[in-house]
Amino acid sequence: MPLALRDLQAAFAAHIVGADRADLAAAVAGDTIPAAARLGVHRHHVFASLGTALAETFPTVQALVGPDFFRGLARAFIGRVLPVQPVLSEYGVDFPAFIAGYEAARDLPYLADVARLDWALNLAFHAPPGDRLQAADLSAVPAERLPSMSIALAAGAVLINSRYPLDRIWETSQPGAGDETVDLNAGASYLLVLRRPDDATFASLSAGEAAFIETLAVGRSLERAAGTAFGADPAFDLSTAFARLLSLGAFAALQ
């Protein structure tokens, strides 16, 4: 009795991620090329093509570890987590956490943070353009209302914090970068990822600016955000920081 189509597809799926399915091999017409070699073409393609997709989404991770190491890392991840839908730019949300627990990458403790940055840049690239808040928009708001206002971040804008100098690590991994070394003890970094008209980028923030953005991002008021920023960084200057963040296009237009 041949397998019903649904069962055949479940067996094929199990085979691809490594299960030994004798019922599937028996369903494949045999000849001089064994069923296992024929099925292997598909298993190979699934892992290779999803590995290529991960390399496109996480280019800085690949640049840091090299293509061979990346292939093994991607293989291990794909065997654990497959896409749940066919848009490959949306595959890999779990990759940074997987890297954090990946034994062979233990010597690169910053690698998971690099993956979080790559993922945030990927999300920003695919975010809707949306209108940005302009200084003129705020001049229409009565001054006494400003402190209690909350301001949303622009679509795709997100803060990536790291114990490591992530901006320097990223710069030295770009194509064409020289072989400069990065001092891993140079201190923490706070990167604001942003969508631009034709790409995604990030800006390095001070600890105060980062605390300000982080507080606004969870819907708190400007007054509360400024207070948190002073707490994190006594040198925080609200008007300078706000002007800089406005010019970066960090905020969404008022609703």
Partner 1 sequence: MNPVAGIGLRSPHLSAIGREQPATGFLEIHAENYLAGSPALRAVERLRADYAFSIHAVGLSLGSAEGLDDAHLARVAALVKRLEPAWVSDHLSWSVSGGRYFNDLLPLPYTEEALEVVVRNIARLQDALGRQVSIENPSCYLRFAHSTLSEPAFLSELVRRSGCGLLLDPNNIVVTAHNLRLDPRDWLDGLPGPAITEYHLAGHATNDADGEPILIDDHGSRVSDAVWALFAEVVKRFGARPTLIEWDTDIPPLGVLLDEAARAAGVIETVVVAGGRDAARAA
Nearer Cβ to partner 1 (54/64): 54
Q: Token pair for residue 164? A: 């490591």
Nearer Cβ to partner 1 (51/208): 51
DSSP 197: S
Nearer Cβ to partner 1 (126/168): 126
Cross-sheet strand order for the sheet of 200-204: 158-162, 189-195, 200-204
In whole angstroms, the minimum distance from the beta carbon of 247 to partner 1 comes to 21
CB-count burial class (<10 Å; 0-12, 13-18, 19+) for 178? exposed
In whole angstroms, the minimum distance from the beta carbon of 125 to partner 1 comes to 6
In whole angstroms, the minimum distance from the beta carbon of 78 to partner 1 comes to 10
DSSP 200: E
**If we measure between CA atoms, which residue out of 84, 80, 83 comes closest to residue 49?**
83
Nearer Cβ to partner 1 (79/147): 79
In whole angstroms, the minimum distance from the beta carbon of 63 to partner 1 comes to 18
Nearer Cβ to partner 1 (39/76): 39
Which residue's structure tokens are 């994190």? 232
Quote the Cα angle for 187-58-45, to 5°: 155
In whole angstroms, the minimum distance from the beta carbon of 250 to partner 1 comes to 19
Q: Given the rule CB under 8 A, which residues bind partner 1?
A: 2, 4-6, 8-10, 12-13, 16, 26-35, 37-42, 45-46, 49-50, 53, 82-90, 125-128, 197-199
Give the separation between CA 90 and CA 122, rounded to whole angstroms. Answer: 9
